[in-house]
Amino acid sequence: MKGISRRSMLFGICGAFAMPLKPVAAATEDPDDPAAKILSVVDGDGRTAKFSRLDLAQLPQTRFVTAAPFLKTPTPLEGPSVSQLLRAFDPDRTFHRIEIVALDSYLVSADISQLEADGAILAIRQDGAFLPIAEKGPAYLVFPFDDRPSLKDKSHYGLCIWQISQIRLS
């Protein structure tokens, strides 16, 4: 019987460290699948709800056509208003502040009452089709700029966050 060579021992040790202790779970959901739960909403108490684009599409929808610096031509957009999303999350509570987080961890913060007054929506469809990740999806915050030209300013454009993955409420 032959002994183990140093080379075999070294490869064995290195291989043991290279193997994960637990199998890594593969992502089973396609983030562009409209049924994928892609948006988490959480309140200050830790209560969380996850929404898919199909869930968001079941809420009352707001539709408008608008242009913005990131939409070169007037584009039809559709999605639930911020108010509708909050009612779906918790119809009995009033929230004052919102933090919206993108897939790349970019974050915007705003007063909910101002977003509601200015007609902000979570656009989930553009030109009638669900937004893929590569096209600002799964959702993005946008205002009816063409219907309300007073909103065409740096502060409103700065709130237009896309690839939304999480909303934090307080």
Domain boundary assignment for the chain: 29-169
For residue 14, pLDDT beyond 50: no
The CATH classification of domain 29-169, taken from the options 3.90.1640.10, 3.40.50.720, 3.30.1780.10, 3.90.420.10: 3.90.420.10
Q: What is the C-alpha radius of gyration for the chain, rounded to an integer number of angstroms?
A: 22
Question: Where does the pLDDT of residue 18 fall: very low under 50, low under 70, confident under 90, or very high at 90 and above?
Answer: very low
The arithmetic mean of pLDDT across residues 106-131, rounded, is 98
Q: What are phi and psi of 78, to 5 degrees?
A: -150, 140
In degrees rounded to 5, what are phi and psi of residue 76? -75, 125
Residue 101 CA to residue 169 CA, distance in Å, equals 11
The mean-pLDDT minimum among 15-19, 46-50, 79-83 falls in 15-19
Could you report the per-residue pLDDT of 62-114, keeping only the tens digit for each?
999 999 999 989 999 999 999 999 999 999 999 999 999 999 999 999 999 99
